[in-house]
Chain A
Amino acid sequence: MTFVTTRTDTGPLLDGATGKWEVVIGMEVHAQVLSKAKLFSGASAEFGAEPNAHVSFVDAAMPGMLPVINRYCVEQAVRTGLGLKAKINKRSTFDRKNYFYPDLPAGYQISQYKDPVVGEGVVIVDMPGGKSIPVGIERLHLEQDAGKSLHDQHPDESYVDLNRAGVALMEIVSKPDLRSSEEAAAYLKKLRAIVRYLGTCDGNMDEGSMRADVNVSVRKPGGPLGTRCEIKNVNSMRFVAAAVEYEARRQIDIIEGGGTIKQETRLFDSKKGETRSMRSKEEAHDYRYFPDPDLLPLEFDDAFVARVKASLPELPDDKKERFVRDFGLSPYDAGVLIAERESADFFEQVAKGRDAKLAANWVINELFGRLNKEDKSIAESPVSAAALGSIVSMISDNTISGKIAKDVFEIAWTEGGDPAAIVEKRGLKQVTDMGAIETAVDKVIAANPQKVEQAKAKPSMAGWFVGQVMKETGGKANPQAVNELVMKKLGL
């Protein structure tokens, strides 16, 4: 299939020996539908069970067995389609894709070839630097996953695990609208965020819940499309970026060396960071697609679509817009916060009734920083949203300084406990009693007459006095009040 790009701008370019090159990328992302049962059988779709524990007679393609569509999977596909702002096809059909492989028990995969359940849509991809790229979605269709061949269980036999066989996948096909490895990775990240927001796919790439086939070609800017190569089954954002980088460079080198690109399917070797040929166009399977006579066309009405639509959560783009509008956040900060639904929810709890910008700073810098450092997810955060909210409140009402707040955060992180109680118990409250601060300022000035003289000549020395006063008060004095008093007393 050849898709037409909807991209009108010129993307980032690569340098070659003969000048600039444009990389053109389209992706087919397989996303496992979040559902209890498989697409056409009642067997469990759960990950990680003993081999062949989740296999029905239908999944094993026993004689006389027939597929029955799982309504919930259809609903999930429609939900995803709506999340991709795509056309929902109220009538779609299932086709058989025929090929022989031991992990494909029926000898065919049930897929949607001609008439997919979801048509054209769009995903907005935000790039660092503030550029937003609309990436066209060609289609989304439902299909079955295959099982897994195990070649390492026996010296001269292969085993087959059919737990995955028949699990529902959504294949989300983009238009060739991506122009760089960064854009490709960012697109995948955004797609993952959308399906995770929708609850239609868990997005666990290391469990194989999401994997991408990446189509890469290169051309002279504005020139005709080059011949593409498809890189199969890339299973992380990092690998997508690396695969595109390698493949684009490989193609440019071949063309500049006087060669031509052969259309082929390639594999990405993540250890070596390179792609290599899997099969050429001539070796491509003839899948002999035809409508599956065991299944009626999939039909639903507007009311069904409306019901699904009514159940949609707020999507990342809408949430980002709201964060900018209602909380006054920068688009960048808003983008960071909404990347994961859980982070956005956490932030909203922290920000509720508080200084939202301050809350955003604390969530992004302190919390995310710490979580990243310890490789924890937001769900595993030792500091709850309520606890972080309490810290933010105490900064805002001057109960503690920003510096003390970091100490409180550290205590709450390592030892747990309610930040307000920590502040109370450890006497960390900011000293706002002007009398006490004045005493401390006077004490420092009296003890350092030489420095006073120096400061009068060089006002920036005032900082030293502030530091000494803070030290004197155990860091609890309100730094602003100290600053003002020091300046006043030094006559600056």
Chain B
Amino acid sequence: MSDLTGLTIAEARDGLKKKAFSAKELTEAHIKAMEKARVLNAFVTETPDIARAGAAEADKRLAAGAARPLEGIPLGIKDLFCTKGVLTTAGSHILDGFKPPYESTVSNNLFNDGAVMLGKLNMDEFAMGSSNETSYYKPVINPWRRKGSNTPLVPGGSSGGSSASVAARLVMGATGTDTGGSIRQPAAVTGIAGIKPTYGRCSRWGIVAFASSLDQAGPMARTVKDCAILLKSMASHDPLDSTSVDLPVPDYEAAMTGNIKGLRVGIPKEYRIDGMPAEIEALWRQGIQWLKDAGAETVDVSLPHTKYALPAYYIVAPAEASSNLARYDGVRFGLRVPGKDITSMYENTRAAGFGREVQRRILIGTYVLSAGYYDAYYIKAQKLRTLIARDFEEAYKKCDVLLTPTAPGPAFGIGEKSDDPIAMYLNDVFTVTVNLAGLPGISVPAGLSSEGLPLGLQLIGKAFDEATLFRVGEVIEKAAGVTPRPQAWWEA
């Protein structure tokens, strides 16, 4: 049973139903893997007791023939999701000791469908980062290494604990959240699949907010199909989230027919950016070829406002964050650093509780919303957002789905970009447009770099058309062949 952690969710689901192994065995195998991989620092909190209780319940249900869709599947939950009675930190010192008295809608949906929680996954502080280096709980280490090198690499971010734990086979799948690429970029650089659904597809209730108009939860797993299985459970209309959408959640697995004949795949010329590494360019061309081989046709499209996406994103997201993070004031929960009066208590608490990147974004956000700057920055960024969304609408008159690279390069070394915020922000160059337009986007593992590191391709869909992304994503996944597992150097 030593290879239980190597199964996909779909395989484990079948194995459990066929009683090839028990939920207990499956969970124990993952607990063991998790405990052996502490050097990766993927978890902020391990919850083996909760996992074991969940597995016991799952075995009862399986025995009774009353298995739910995710019965006994061990998952990791990004530490941005509030989990009832379990420490929830958002990767920040300011939420010290915070155990929410409520469960987020998305994690609740997963547990109601029988999923088993192994623990809470490390992340960039308040989901602000692309490398998991801004976490108060220290960086997560990518299970992948460059060929012949021991240099520790970042697992992407902000869902870095999620990507690393899925890639290292510590969990079968994980929740992520994506505000500017935080699911897709880490998925790409760890060789797994991850989808940011359409804004409104998953409830935001109970997820610590970063930028409310951009945040969206989604699954991360080793295959496209596993992502489809997880999203089916995560998505729901939630009356507690006014921005969640009351649309039926399709049977995504059933939509994965493998048939993409006649599908029109748009190739946006603006994504061919200056200085794009040749191997990313080559990967993209390869992806185009795979889809053509499978019967799709490609169409050149233009998304003319793409170059404004990053600046617009780095105005809108910090603006909303500066307001969303005002509640962390030391008054009601989390960290409090005393002061001589209320103002100094606020200052002391927030100075100690927020890391540098979070402080930077609060300052940017406060600045762009200030009197005299609001029109020049925030309003202009909102106008750009409308133009960017319109670009996609125009493109979708000519095609059904767009294909782009997910990230401008493979995983980089810890510390390599952390002193240069602008270089770090460029990691989001292919992903932020999707958030600004509220569209779904999936990253699919598509190959390895010259240094042996995973690379991903991104598919961008029409609003609420996740089904097409899964169908096309699986075609790429199959064409690319099985992504090798990273060497389990951490177990040595």
Q: Are B342's CB and A158's CB within 8 A?
A: yes
B370 within 8 A of A: yes
Q: Are A64's CB and B205's CB within 8 A?
A: yes
Q: Are A100's CB and B326's CB within 8 A?
A: yes
A66 within 8 A of B: yes
A288 touches which of B88, B98, B101, B369 (Cβ 8 Å): B369
Q: Are A63's CB and B208's CB within 8 A?
A: yes
B interface, how many residues as a size bin?
35 or more
User: A105 — which chain B residues lie within 8 A by C-beta?
Assistant: 327, 331-332
> From A94, which residue of chain B is reached at the shortest CB distance?
B242
A108 touches which of B205, B323, B374 (Cβ 8 Å): B323
B378 to chain A, nearest CB (A): 6
A107 touches which of B207, B320, B323, B333 (Cβ 8 Å): B323
The prevalent SS among residues of B at the interface is loop
> From A67, which residue of chain B is reached at the shortest CB distance?
B242
A184 to chain B, nearest CB (A): 30
Q: Are A102's CB and B342's CB within 8 A?
A: yes
Q: Are B209's CB and A295's CB within 8 A?
A: no
User: A133 — which chain B residues lie within 8 A by C-beta?
Assistant: none
Which residues of A39-86 are within 8 A (CB) of B? Answer: 57, 60-69
A65 touches which of B90, B205, B346 (Cβ 8 Å): B205
A63-B323 contact, Cβ under 8 Å, with A68-B240, A102-B342, A296-B243: no
> From A149, which residue of chain B is reached at the shortest CB distance?
B342
A302 within 8 A of B: no
B152 within 8 A of A: no
A130 within 8 A of B: no
Q: Are B327's CB and A66's CB within 8 A?
A: no
- Cα–Cα, bound, A62→B84 (Å): 13
Which residues of B223-244 are within 8 A (CB) of A? Answer: 239-243
B95 within 8 A of A: yes
Q: Are A63's CB and B82's CB within 8 A?
A: yes
Q: Are A57's CB and B102's CB within 8 A?
A: yes
- Cα–Cα, bound, A62→B331 (Å): 11
> From A102, which residue of chain B is reached at the shortest CB distance?
B331
A63-B95 contact, Cβ under 8 Å, with A68-B242, A102-B331, A294-B242: yes
User: B332 — which chain A residues lie within 8 A by C-beta?
Assistant: 60-62, 105
- Cα–Cα, bound, A108→B327 (Å): 8
B323 touches which of A60, A67, A286, A288 (Cβ 8 Å): A288
Which residues of B308-322 are within 8 A (CB) of A? Answer: 319-320, 322
B46 within 8 A of A: no
User: A107 — which chain B residues lie within 8 A by C-beta?
Assistant: 323, 325-327, 329
> From A58, which residue of chain B is reached at the shortest CB distance?
B240
User: B342 — which chain A residues lie within 8 A by C-beta?
Assistant: 102, 158
User: B371 — which chain A residues lie within 8 A by C-beta?
Assistant: 286, 288
- Cα–Cα, bound, A158→B346 (Å): 14
B449 within 8 A of A: no
A294-B100 contact, Cβ under 8 Å, with A68-B239, A108-B326: no
Q: Are A290's CB and B319's CB within 8 A?
A: yes
Q: Are A63's CB and B90's CB within 8 A?
A: yes
> From B341, which residue of chain A is reached at the shortest CB distance?
A158
A106 within 8 A of B: yes
A96 within 8 A of B: yes
Residues on A close to B: CB < 8 A? 57, 60-69, 96, 98, 100, 102, 105-108, 158, 160, 286, 288-290, 293-296
Q: Can you name 16 A-B residue pairings with CB atoms under 8 Å?
A: A62-B100, A62-B102, A63-B82, A63-B98, A63-B333, A65-B205, A66-B240, A66-B241, A66-B242, A68-B241, A98-B323, A286-B370, A288-B322, A288-B370, A290-B374, A290-B378
